[in-house]
Structure 1
């Protein structure tokens, strides 16, 4: 078992609080992604789990054993860094074998594990090359193979695809997910790329200003954001937000009347751009910009003085300057508390 429990972990750098008190449980064999903007604390949390950073308080447990007092080598973890850290003076074989040599395994065992890891990453034909002879994608594969070869209980990955070009990143995402499912390794993966997070994760923990604001499966985070921040961070383009005026059982949003949420507090209306249909009873705005997106077009409008976006099929001709009415699809409207920013269910 390689479940992970983070209990009350916090981190201060002098007077600056990088991590507020955090609690997070990661199941055995789960692929969890820590997602957030730069500076939100996701890499700091990963380094605390790895033992590369000391927490200011709290506990880390792996497989039921408390490890926050142990050095990294005794935690049963392997880590893949953003810059890969592939040794240039070693062949691919020796790079992958490095951790195994440190464990003083027999040569036959080392060779078996290296070949198995290289086969998983489809680099078995590169074992005698040096890193200078490899592309960025190949070096990334070497770094992952080296981590998997030691058969860690937990694999920690810090933005491992960020140095790759867009097409290679797309290819590696799909391949990496399949490999880690096959290896059945508990994984914590750090990224600021929401598409990467949505495509890879069993579960996403969204971080903001040193706090975990939502931890849930990717589909739930997308469809039911727990806070306004999550709704505005997840999605490309992100959610639209408009002020709402509530009177009894009804709410008015830019002239459109809707059933009000069950709360007496001020609320804000929210909806995703793809959940709007042209025509019918809806929100009306003046079109500012139309951006072709292959089978769709991204339309930016002014709705009551607020920027509002909609994804519209190409069979509907839209021109800048015209008025466009957009009707929310059934069940697509979300509401957020104005003061706390929490979702109102």
Structure 2
């Protein structure tokens, strides 16, 4: 059972605090993605779990055993990095076998594990080739196979697909998800790419400024963001936000339209671009930019002085200067507290 428990983990570099008392539990065999922009603390947290950084405070537990005082080699983990980290002067077989031989495993067991992981990563036909002769995608498969061959309790992945082109990333995402599910390994995956996060994760931990703002399954994070930041960071294009003015009895004025919302206090209106449709009555918006994207069209407008985006069917072709009325799906409207930035129910 490779349950990972992060308890009050903090990390400071001099006067700079990279992590603020992080608490997070990752279930056995779960695929957890740490998602956030550069500098949010996700790689620092991964390195602390790996034993490559020492926390300033807090504890790390893996499989019921406290490990934050142990060196990396004693934690039962394997890592896959962004830069592949394969040895170009060794064959694919030798690369995968490298860690196993360092542990002085019997040759029969080395052979079994290399063959098994090579088949899992669809590189069995490459075992005799030198890794310096491989493409970027093939080298990354070798790096993953080498990590899996160690049969670790936990595999940590730091932006492993970021050096690949878009089509290869798409192929590798699908492959990784299936391979790691089959290996029954607990996985922590760091990325700034929300598409990777949404497609791979069992749960996503959205990070900003050294804090975890929300840890939930991808649909929950997308549909019910816990904070305004999560709503703006997840989704491409991101959520639309407009100021709202209380009209009494739980009614709110937004760009001249009335919507039911929180019963009291202050609120900000939010809606995703795909949850709007043109109608006779709705939020008035002036078209500024039209971007045909094949099956749909992304239209950037201005509503109540704020940028406001809508995704339309490709058969609809507004032009800059057109005026639209955009009606939101009522059950998709979300509300945020302008002061705390937290979601309102």
Q: CA deviation at 1:320?
A: 1.3
Rounded to whole Å, the distance in 2 between the matches of 1:251 and 1:204 is 32
Rounded to whole Å, the distance in 1 between the matches of 2:133 and 2:263 is 63
Q: Specify the alignment match of 1:207 in structure 2.
A: 207
Q: CA deviation at 1:317?
A: 3.0
Q: CA deviation at 1:315?
A: 2.5
Note the alpha carbon deviations across 1:201-220, whole angstroms, 9 max, x for none: 00000000000000000000
User: Over aligned residues, Cα RMSD in angstroms?
Assistant: 0.7
Note the alpha carbon deviations across 1:294-330, whole angstroms, 9 max, x for none: 1111111111111100001122231211110000012
Q: Specify the alignment match of 1:311 in structure 2.
A: 311
Rounded to whole Å, the distance in 2 between the matches of 1:301 and 1:70 is 55
2:260 aligned with 1:232, yes or no?
no
Q: CA deviation at 1:222?
A: 0.1
Q: Specify the alignment match of 1:109 in structure 2.
A: 109
Structure 2: 5+ residue stretches without partners: none
Partner secondary structure for residue 174 of structure 1: helix
Partner secondary structure for residue 331 of structure 1: helix
Q: Specify the alignment match of 1:254 in structure 2.
A: 255
2:13 aligned with 1:13, yes or no?
yes
Question: Does the 8 A contact of 1:246 with 1:260 survive in 2?
Answer: no
Rounded to whole Å, the distance in 2 between the matches of 1:46 and 1:285 is 44
Count of equivalent residues: 344
Rounded to whole Å, the distance in 2 between the matches of 1:336 and 1:99 is 50
Note the alpha carbon deviations across 1:32-55, whole angstroms, 9 max, x for none: 000000000000000000000000
Moved over 3 A (4+): none
Q: Specify the alignment match of 1:336 in structure 2.
A: 336
Normalising by structure 2, what TM-score? 0.99
Deviates more, 1:292-301 or 1:206-215: 292-301
Note the alpha carbon deviations across 1:168-225, whole angstroms, 9 max, x for none: 0000000010001111100000000000000000000000000000000000000000
Structure 1: 5+ residue stretches without partners: none
Q: CA deviation at 1:267?
A: 1.1
Q: Specify the alignment match of 2:71 in structure 1.
A: 71
Rounded to whole Å, the distance in 2 between the matches of 1:149 and 1:65 is 23
Note the alpha carbon deviations across 1:224-280, whole angstroms, 9 max, x for none: 00000000000000000000001212100000111131332x211100000001013
Rounded to whole Å, the distance in 1 between the matches of 2:263 and 2:206 is 26
Query: What are the equivalent positions in structure 2 for 1:1-80 lying under 5 Å apart?
Result: 1-80=1-80
Query: What are the equivalent positions in structure 2 for 1:94-133 lying under 5 Å apart?
Result: 94-133=94-133
